[in-house]
Amino acid sequence: MATTEAGDEPDMDGVRFVHEDNGRVTAVHVETGVASFGDDEAAALRNLADALDSHFGAGDTIDDPAGYLEESSIEVEIGGEGSPPWLDRE
């Protein structure tokens, strides 16, 4: 079960950190719901910056999304149903 930083409120501005059971840290941009992860908060923020660039159209084009996800060891079904797990609020 993942945990968020103490005092995080769903309607706050900025970035929310989720500490995953596997040791990774997920950084979530609260306004957009864009998220990325890293081995620590600093790495998660660097990756989140790249994800936000992509979200707002400033990122690099990925020609083979499925191959990229596999190469990056990201397990996700492209076009899957439902919300991503970091948007689930317990």
Q: In Å, what is the CA distance from 5 to each residue of 8, 25, 83, 89?
A: 6, 11, 21, 13
| This model's pTM is above 0.85 | no
The answer, yes or no, to whether residue 80 has pLDDT greater than 90, is: no
3-state secondary structure of 36: strand
Q: What is the average per-residue pLDDT within 7-28?
A: 82
Q: Dig out the tokens for 11 from the structure.
A: 């309607």
**Residue 79 CB neighbours (<10 A):** 6
Q: Using 50, 70 and 90 to split pLDDT, how confident is the model at 78?
A: low
- Amino acid at site 20: E
Q: Dig out the tokens for 73 from the structure.
A: 């060891």
The answer, yes or no, to whether residue 27 has pLDDT greater than 60, is: yes
Q: Dig out the tokens for 54 from the structure.
A: 């992509």
Q: Using 50, 70 and 90 to split pLDDT, how confident is the model at 87?
A: low
